[in-house]
């Protein structure tokens, strides 16, 4: 079989050589089997052209890939504990996972979105939502670590999140499940009119990126599913798809699919800012966590916030409008010009495209077909720009290239369909293996997409890889979209369910990537930035070890005077100042993960010795030819031992 | 996850379409034959040279510590690298010439001490061999250029400078860390060495 393949390939090659004098350069036909491999091959030591940030779904993580190779570089813990990096295990990062419900080491992370400047992805931050216990996280792309998490009050199933406006003025977070607001003890049967949805606008400080829940827009009790910002002329608006306009609360798969049309909610956030400025908001009591990690103190702090400003869209004119959109729309996508808003009606065969210009005209003329809880409903025909007819089954999500084309995933018919923006004609289709959910073109949600590749993220894997028991790998597929025809280049496995992704040219990000933390700027409360300051201190049963590490020893590496019942904090500073020289440390019997400490950084783990004896610790990350020698001992004496604390390195 | 629900509701209804998609697809991709490479890392484990504690019930081996080292150095191997005096060799690196004024700049030296305590002390103790050699009287054995180059680019020095290479072997293969000092900072540390 394979031999036949080679022979055919060789034969085709020969034909091509013979007929090469009339080649017009149509390389997209994929006739030469080897071309797909060559297109994804990144030679050893060379770099990929794009970063792809693919959500880890129910793993609570965000994974970082290179395109076109599909190579995995890093898995960033966000709403998760990661023993490899001590994230959520060490004392410094535990506060990042604090919520109003206490410590929650897991969430369902869906939609990453890269910060933008002037409508273009700028590579400073990436935001991602926690769906289950509503949270928004910010990952700083100079360190590829989660540096801020804010909880969202009055929300449940934080799904239409985390999408940024075109200058990252806000990252928005809409509720999927409407709930009683404020929460109270009422019958579920009283859903209609009592359950509400909120759309939260979290401001992002232009200087330091600090997040703050600026305001929430109170909306009818629909399910707000996805969102995208206006750009260009439509900058200042945010569009949210919604379903369950039936306001059902049971047997949703039937009861929330009754209406022929649901809505895309258009929110005028510039108007919202005016209402905030003129004080027409309600201040509601709330309780939500705001967790910030500092690269100076290498420590996170968690603060509980107690109130939130709410704007009621039912009472405030001009804040919200509803655009009828067929069949429970999922993706709500805005083209690079900002003129077209695509509703991907997931129970439909068609795509509905609204016109921003027509929407403004209809609002101007006050041409409404009705209202829902005081919010005007525009006429479907008035705002419709066009329909991509019978493109496939179950449209979910559309992204755009830089040549005026849209690319839409169809879940039920399992394909990506390419269509022309403006004429709405279908140009090409490519099958996905299997059941594609979302897709991603680097910069595809911005004014400036890089129309070279599309990544399709699949919901079903089945037989595409070697089997690994009942649970098989999650999977994505890479297509070349530079030609007229899409060409499947590569399957690659992903971490957790790949719900959604964001991509960016590697050059923008890699120049800003930090190599080390400057030891001289380390402001950790328990840092030991000079070997002269190494010490061990006792405060009752609490013992603090101020330890340093460098290739290849710990200081101190012998400690005596620890007693059973003590709580020992190892505050360990990596004194290295060279790129890619982290050290690890772990202690036998410590009820936590190792630490993995970057050059110039301080981290802490807690050890509660339970048995008398002499117990070793060692470096867990290979660091030099003498890595195996990087170890130490702690002597543990009985609780009533009179032995004083002593510590040393290299003394006999 | 509505999509998961949808799988159950709609998947079977559209099975025909679904498999149509598979059948349409003809996989023309052929794997590019890429040769895998195997890298072998061999760690040179140096003999531990009889530095055992001697508890009464322990054991000790009367072993003579070998002083002969096989190296590519052309220098006189009978003298330890740390004790060799070489006031010609400027080392390998960005510093090719450096004139030290007769007078020690005390302010610069104070700054150098601060840097040294933070970035170097973990391995180099004053007046005592530790992980690496003590810096006392270093300029009686080395040129200032050699010292600067060793601080600024130790990786290159142990690869290209025979004396630095011998020092690595003498100090158990423990690599000198590049602590990322600027030229100015390395110069300050050198000034501090002059005060020792």
Residue B118, helix vs strand vs coil: helix
**CA A637, CA A586: separation in Å to the nearest integer?**
20
DSSP state of B2: H
Mean pLDDT, residues A560-574 taken together: 98
CB of B169 within 8 A of CB of A625? no
Mean pLDDT, residues A56-77 taken together: 98
Kindly list the residues from chain B whose CB atom is less than 8 angstroms away from the CB atom of residue A488. Answer: 29
Higher pLDDT, A96 or A29: A96
Which band of pLDDT confidence, cut at 50, 70 and 90, is reported for residue A34?
A: low
In this predicted structure, the answer to whether residue A527 has a pLDDT above a threshold of 60 is: yes
In this predicted structure, the answer to whether residue B107 has a pLDDT above a threshold of 60 is: yes
Kindly list the residues from chain B whose CB atom is less than 8 angstroms away from the CB atom of residue A577. Answer: 119, 177-181
Going by C-alpha positions, the residue among A124, A136, A529, A95 that lies closest to residue A294 is A95
Number of A/B CB contacts below 8 angstroms equals 116
CB of A164 within 8 A of CB of A130? no
Tell me if B179 and A555 make a contact (CB, 8 A cut-off): no
Higher pLDDT, B172 or A563: A563
**CA A530, CA A379: separation in Å to the nearest integer?**
70
In this predicted structure, the answer to whether residue A460 has a pLDDT above a threshold of 70 is: yes
Mean pLDDT, residues A241-255 taken together: 93
Angle, to 10 degrees, between the axis of helix A2-18 and the axis of helix A33-40? Answer: 90
CA distance B173 to chain A (A): 7
Which band of pLDDT confidence, cut at 50, 70 and 90, is reported for residue B12?
A: very low
Tell me if B30 and A34 make a contact (CB, 8 A cut-off): yes
pLDDT of res. A33: 53
- Measured from the Cβ of residue A224, the count of other Cβ atoms closer than 10 Å reads 31
Task: Report the CATH architecture of A184-510.
Answer: 7 Propeller (2.130)
Q: Which structure tokens are listed for A642?
A: 């009179």
Cis peptide before A162 (omega within 30 of 0): yes
CB of A615 within 8 A of CB of A591? no
Which band of pLDDT confidence, cut at 50, 70 and 90, is reported for residue A141?
A: very high
Q: Which structure tokens are listed for B148?
A: 């600067």
CA distances (Å), origin A504, targets A37, A121, A145, A478, A479 = 22, 7, 17, 15, 16
In this predicted structure, the answer to whether residue A635 has a pLDDT above a threshold of 70 is: yes
CB of A137 within 8 A of CB of A149? yes
CB of A89 within 8 A of CB of A95? no
Q: Tokens 């969430």 correspond to what residue?
A: A107
Report pLDDT digits (tens) over B68-88: 544 454 555 678 999 999 999
Report pLDDT digits (tens) over A400-448: 999 999 999 999 999 999 999 999 999 999 999 999 999 999 999 999 9
Tell me if B10 and A532 make a contact (CB, 8 A cut-off): no
Q: Is A484 exposed, middle or buried (0-12, 13-18, 19+ CB in 10 A)?
A: exposed
Which band of pLDDT confidence, cut at 50, 70 and 90, is reported for residue B20?
A: very low
Report pLDDT digits (tens) over A360-394: 999 999 999 999 999 999 999 999 999 999 999 99
pLDDT of res. A652: 63
Mean pLDDT, residues A149-165 taken together: 97
Mean pLDDT, residues A537-561 taken together: 97
In this predicted structure, the answer to whether residue B6 has a pLDDT above a threshold of 70 is: no
Going by C-alpha positions, the residue among A348, A478, A462, A465 that lies closest to residue A407 is A478
Q: Which of B46, B121, B127 is the best mutation test for A, with the most CBs of A within 10 A?
A: B121
B175: nearest CB among A433, A489, A624? A624
B32: nearest CB among A41, A44, A529? A41
For the domain made up of B81-195, give the CATH fold: Cytochrome Bc1 Complex; Chain D, domain 2 (1.10.760)
Mean pLDDT, residues A293-312 taken together: 98
* Mean of the per-residue pLDDT values of chain B: 76
Going by C-alpha positions, the residue among A44, A174, A550 that lies closest to residue B131 is A550
Higher pLDDT, B96 or B63: B96
Instruction: Count Cα neighbours of A365 within 13 Å in the Cβ-side half-sphere.
Output: 12
In this prediction, what percent of chain A has a pLDDT beyond 70?
A: 95
* Mean of the per-residue pLDDT values of chain A: 94
A414: nearest CB among B18, B30, B130? B18
CA distance A36 to chain B (A): 6
A42–B contact, CB cutoff 8 A? no
Q: What is the residue extent of each domain of chain A?
A: 184-510, 519-648
B30: nearest CB among A9, A437, A532? A9
Mean pLDDT, residues A131-135 taken together: 98
A132–B contact, CB cutoff 8 A? no
Q: What is the residue extent of each domain of chain B?
A: 81-195
pLDDT of res. B76: 59
pTM of the predicted protein model: 0.86
Mean pLDDT, residues A106-128 taken together: 98
Kindly list the residues from chain B whose CB atom is less than 8 angstroms away from the CB atom of residue A437. Answer: 3
A431: nearest CB among B3, B21, B179? B21
CB of A57 within 8 A of CB of A78? no
Q: Tokens 């075109």 correspond to what residue?
A: A166
Which residues lie closer than 8 Å to A454 by C-beta, 6 or more apart?
A399, A407, A416, A439, A440, A441, A444, A478, A479, A481, A486
Tell me if B6 and A431 make a contact (CB, 8 A cut-off): no
Which band of pLDDT confidence, cut at 50, 70 and 90, is reported for residue A164?
A: very high
Phi, psi dihedral angles at A602 (to 5 degrees): -120, 135
Determine the residue of chain A that is closest to B51 in CA distance: A652
Tell me if B30 and A37 make a contact (CB, 8 A cut-off): yes
Which band of pLDDT confidence, cut at 50, 70 and 90, is reported for residue A338?
A: very high
CA distance B11 to chain A (A): 7
A530: nearest CB among B4, B32, B118? B118
Residue B65, helix vs strand vs coil: coil
DSSP state of A109: B
For the domain made up of A519-648, give the CATH fold: Immunoglobulin-like (2.60.40)
Q: Which structure tokens are listed for A651?
A: 């003394």
Kindly list the residues from chain B whose CB atom is less than 8 angstroms away from the CB atom of residue A548. Answer: 122
Which band of pLDDT confidence, cut at 50, 70 and 90, is reported for residue A651?
A: confident
**Which value does ipTM take for this structure?**
0.75
pLDDT of res. A111: 98
Residue A543, helix vs strand vs coil: strand
In this predicted structure, the answer to whether residue B57 has a pLDDT above a threshold of 50 is: yes
């Amino acid at each position: 079989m394979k031999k036949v393949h080679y022979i055919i390939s060789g034969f085709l090659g020969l034909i091509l050589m013979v007929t090469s004098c009339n080649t017009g350069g149509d390389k997209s036909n994929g006739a030469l089997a080897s071309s797909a491999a060559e297109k994804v091959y990144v030679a050893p030591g060379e770099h990929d052209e794009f970063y792809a940030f693919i959500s880890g779904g129910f793993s609570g993580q965000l994974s970082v890939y290179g395109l076109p190779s599909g190579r995995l570089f890093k898995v960033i813990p966000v709403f998760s504990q990661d023993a490899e990096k001590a994230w959520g295990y060490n004392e410094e990062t535990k506060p990042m996972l604090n919520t109003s419900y206490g410590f929650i080491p897991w969430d369902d992370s869906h939609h990453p979105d890269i910060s933008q400047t002037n409508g273009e992805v700028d590579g400073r931050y990436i935001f991602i939502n926690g769906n289950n216990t509503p949270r928004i996280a910010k990952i700083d792309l100079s360190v590829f670590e989660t540096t801020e998490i804010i909880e969202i009050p009055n929300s449940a199933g934080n799904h239409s999140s985390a999408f940024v406006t075109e200058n990252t003025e806000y990252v928005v977070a809409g509720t999927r499940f409407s709930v009683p607001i404020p929460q109270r003890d009422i019958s579920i049967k009283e859903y209609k009119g009592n359950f509400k949805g909120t759309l939260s606008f979290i401001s992002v400080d232009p200087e330091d990126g600090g997040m703050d829940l600026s305001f929430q827009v109170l909306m009818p009790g629909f399910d707000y599913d996805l969102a995208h910002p206006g750009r260009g002329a439509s900058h200042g608006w945010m569009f949210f798809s919604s379903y369950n306009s039936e306001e059902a609360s049971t047997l949703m798969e039937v009861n929330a699919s009754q209406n022929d049309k649901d809505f895309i909610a258009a929110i005028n956030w510039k108007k919202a800012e005016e209402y905030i400025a003129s004080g027409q908001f309600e201040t509601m009591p709330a309780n939500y966590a705001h967790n910030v990690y500092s690269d100076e103190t290498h420590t996170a702090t968690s603060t509980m916030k107690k109130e939130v400003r709410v704007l009621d869209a039912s009472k405030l004119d001009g804040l919200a409008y509803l655009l009828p959109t067929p069949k429970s729309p999922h993706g709500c996508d805005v083209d690079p010009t900002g003129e077209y808003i695509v509703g991907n009606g997931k129970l439909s065969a068609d795509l509905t495209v609204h016109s921003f210009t027509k929407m403004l005209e209809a609002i101007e003329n006050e041409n409404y077909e009705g209202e829902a809880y005081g919010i005007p409903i525009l006429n479907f025909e008035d705002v419709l720009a066009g329909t991509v007819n019978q493109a496939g089954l179950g449209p979910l999500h559309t992204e755009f290239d830089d040549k005026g084309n849209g690319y839409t995933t169809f879940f039920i018919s399992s394909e990506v369909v390419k269509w022309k923006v403006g004429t709405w004609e279908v140009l090409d289709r490519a099958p996905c293996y299997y059941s594609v959910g979302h897709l991603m073109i680097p910069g595809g949600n911005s004014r400036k997409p890089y129309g070279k590749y599309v990544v399709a993220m699949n919901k079903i894997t089945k037989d595409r890889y070697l089997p690994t028991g009942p649970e098989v790998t999650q999977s994505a597929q890479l297509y070349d979209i530079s030609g007229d025809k899409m060409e499947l280049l590569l399957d690659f496995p992903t971490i957790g369910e790949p719900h959604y992704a964001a991509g960016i040219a590697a050059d923008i990000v890699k120049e800003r990537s930090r190599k080390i933390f400057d030891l001289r700027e380390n402001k950790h409360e328990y840092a030991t930035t000079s070997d002269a300051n190494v010490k061990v201190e006792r405060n009752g049963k609490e013992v603090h070890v101020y330890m340093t590490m460098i290739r290849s020893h710990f200081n101190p590496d012998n400690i005596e005077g620890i007693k059973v019942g003590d709580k020992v904090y190892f505050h360990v500073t990596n004194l290295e100042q060279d790129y890619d020289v982290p050290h690890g440390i772990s202690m036998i019997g410590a009820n936590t993960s190792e630490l993995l400490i970057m050059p110039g950084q301080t981290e802490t783990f807690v050890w509660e010795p339970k048995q008398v004896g002499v117990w070793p610790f060692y470096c867990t990350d290979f660091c030099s030819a003498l890595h195996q020698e990087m170890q130490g001992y702690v002597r543990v004496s009985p609780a009533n031992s009179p032995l004083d604390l002593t510590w040393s390195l290299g003394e006999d | 996850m509505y999509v998961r629900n949808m799988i159950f509701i709609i998947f079977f209804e559209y099975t025909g379409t679904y498999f149509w998609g598979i059948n349409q697809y003809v996989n023309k991709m052929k794997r590019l034959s890429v040769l895998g490479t195997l890298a072998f890392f061999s760690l040179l484990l140096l003999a531990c040279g009889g530095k055992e504690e001697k508890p009464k019930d322990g054991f000790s081996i009367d072993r003579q510590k070998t002083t002969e080292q096989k190296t590519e150095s052309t220098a006189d191997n009978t003298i330890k690298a740390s004790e060799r005096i070489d006031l010609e060799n400027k080392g390998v690196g960005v510093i090719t010439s450096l004139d030290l004024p007769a007078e020690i700049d005390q302010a610069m030296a104070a700054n150098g001490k601060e840097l040294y305590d933070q970035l170097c002390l973990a391995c180099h103790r004053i007046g005592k061999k530790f992980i690496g050699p003590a810096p006392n009287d270093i300029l009686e054995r080395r040129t200032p250029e050699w010292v600067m180059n060793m601080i600024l680019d130790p990786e290159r020095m142990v690869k290209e400078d025979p004396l630095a290479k011998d020092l690595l072997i003498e100090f158990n293969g423990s690599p000198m860390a590049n602590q990322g000092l600027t030229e100015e900072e390395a110069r300050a540390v050198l000034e501090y060495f002059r005060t020792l």
